[in-house]
């Protein structure tokens, strides 16, 4: 089966609120080096991912510090830590939506990747690997299929926000907020390009 990486990927909430990546597998060495750990002074809070050599995307409720270049959160040194500037999109709180943020870092090496549409996508994160379990230190990967929007609307009883796409997965009851959001069919934010592109082009927040 042909696969692509779903760029609008994973942002994990605190483990107590249900960040999970169940039925996945440990990421292979250097498989997903675009993945970022967004942290506060106590450690990992959310997942994020590089969208350019200057910007990491994550959820707006997350912390302002970034770790890049490792799959294992126990193997982090100061060369992997980046100070950032936050760019948020009209965010008030998780329930109000727009839980998306760009974090500007100093320029990184960047390799362009062409993504295929309508394929099975790989989602990565440091979430729990079983229901009600603890988050893990080693990056996990799970494959999810894109779900038809009408089917997703029926599950959400026509309450689905406009700026999403849906991808199927294991999750049943726990919510994952931010760049991957809600439960049941997991909902990936995809329609913020009119906000994202000017920031990436000008390399500054608006």
DSSP state, 204?
A: S
Cα–Cα distance measured from residue 19 to residue 176, given in angstroms and rounded to the nearest whole number: 6
Mean pLDDT over residues 47-76, rounded?
84
Indicate the class that CATH gives domain 3-202. Answer: mainly beta
Q: Is the pLDDT of residue 181 over 60?
A: no
DSSP assignments along 31-73, one per residue: S-TTEEEEEETTEEEEEEEESSSSEEEE-TTS-SEEEES-SBT
DSSP line for 141-197 = EEEE-EE-HHHHHHHTTT---SSEEEE--S-SS----TTEESSSSEEEE---HHHHH
Q: Render pLDDT for 75-120 as a digit per residue (tens, 0 to 9).
A: 887 777 887 887 877 777 766 677 788 888 876 655 554 434 456 7
**Who has greater pLDDT, 205 or 7?**
205
Task: Write down the pLDDT at residue 169.
Answer: 54
pLDDT digits (tens, 9 = 90+) for 73-86: 888 877 778 878 87
Report the C-alpha gap between 186 and 10 in whole angstroms.
10
Answer with the residue of higher pLDDT: 130 or 35. Answer: 35
For the chain, which residues make up each domain, given as ranges? 3-202
Residue burial 104-139, b: 16+ Cβ < 10 Å; e: rest: bbeebeeeeeeeeeebbbbbbbbbbbeeeeebbbeb
Measure the CA–CA gap between 175 and 19, rounded to whole angstroms.
7
Q: Residue 95, Cβ neighbours under 10 Å: how many?
A: 7
């Amino acid at each position: 089966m042909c696969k692509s990486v779903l760029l609008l990927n994973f942002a994990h909430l605190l483990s107590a609120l249900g960040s999970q990546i169940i039925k996945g597998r440990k990421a292979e060495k250097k498989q997903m080096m675009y993945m970022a750990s967004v942290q506060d002074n106590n450690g990992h809070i959310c997942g994020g991912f590089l969208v350019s050599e200057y910007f990491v995307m994550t959820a707006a409720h997350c912390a302002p510090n970034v770790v890049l270049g490792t799959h294992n959160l126990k193997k982090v040194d100061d060369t992997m830590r980046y100070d950032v500037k936050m760019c948020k999109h009209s965010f008030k709180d998780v329930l109000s939506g727009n839980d998306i943020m760009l974090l500007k870092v100093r320029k990184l090496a960047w390799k362009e990747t062409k993504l295929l549409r309508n394929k099975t996508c790989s989602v990565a994160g440091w979430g729990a690997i079983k229901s009600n379990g603890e988050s893990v230190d080693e990056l996990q990967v799970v494959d999810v299929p894109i779900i038809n929007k009408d089917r997703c609307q029926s599950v959400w009883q026509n309450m689905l926000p406009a700026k999403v796409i849906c991808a199927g997965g294991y999750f049943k009851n726990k919510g994952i907020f931010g760049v991957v959001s809600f439960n049941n069919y997991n909902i990936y934010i995809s329609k913020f390009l009119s906000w994202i592109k000017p920031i990436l082009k000008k390399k500054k927040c608006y």
